[in-house]
Amino acid sequence: MAPTTDLQSARDELLRRIGRNVVNFQYLEATLRSMIPALSNNGTLSELKIRRTKLERKHKKSSLGELANSYHEKVFRVPSEDLSDDAPTEPWLAFSVQIESTPDDVAMQKRALASLVVERNRLIHKDVLNVDLTSKVQCESLSARLDEQNTRILQQLDQLNSFRSGLRDAAEDLRRFIESEEFLAMLRGERDDA
């Protein structure tokens, strides 16, 4: 028996929404994967790229949950001093990007991202497999949940992309400063107190 037009339409909309949400979850994962190596690094100038590459490799196959945890550990951690007792033989640089926030706000941020991880896993491993595509009611019910879920995914992506944009701007400002005469004068110990 061929599905009715209403059922076919509900099923098509459900499949479209599933695809949209899966793609947006992939964007969320890729955004976290690209941001994590840029959040902190330290070492001599020759070591920085090596350390970043190692971190990129480490997270290349990480799950969304692992990436979310790593992101929160880096962004909301208490700063520590990882300074070596050995005097470096070449210039040494350390940086980290962190967000100052109340413990309640940190917990709320972590819950929001962790909730999306759970929802993503439920969608992929349960909802898609268990929905009855011959039931208009089930198709419409899951479609409504997917619309609500997509709103939360997009909010998280907007937050991360805004943060990433700020990171890019700060990195560009730092690059310009390092290439400036002012930076060279500072390295030489010259000051312009006039």
Q: Which of 18-22, 26-30, 34-38, 175-179 has the lowest mean pLDDT?
A: 175-179
pLDDT, position 190: 76
Give me the chain's average pLDDT, please. Answer: 88
Amino acid at 91: P
Question: Which of 88, 34, 33, 18 has the alpha carbon at shortest distance from 64?
Answer: 33
Read off the tokens for 48.
Answer: 């920085």
Q: Which of 68-72, 75-79, 114-118, 170-174 has the lowest mean pLDDT?
A: 75-79
* Rounded Cα distance, 100 and 76, in Å: 7
Residue 121 pLDDT more than 70?
Answer: yes
% the chain with pLDDT above 70: 90
* Rounded Cα distance, 65 and 175, in Å: 32
- Domain locations in the chain as residue ranges: 5-188
Q: How confident is the model at residue 149 (pLDDT cuts 50, 70, 90)?
A: very high
The conformational region for residue 189 under phi > 0 = left, psi -120 to 50 = alpha, else beta, is left
Q: What is the residue whose two structure tokens read 């030489």?
A: 188
Q: What is the mean pLDDT of residues 36-41?
A: 88
pLDDT in tens, 62-103: 999 999 999 999 888 665 555 555 666 777 778 788 888 888
pLDDT, position 175: 81
pLDDT, position 154: 97
Q: How confident is the model at residue 165 (pLDDT cuts 50, 70, 90)?
A: very high
Q: What is the residue whose two structure tokens read 């949950």?
A: 65
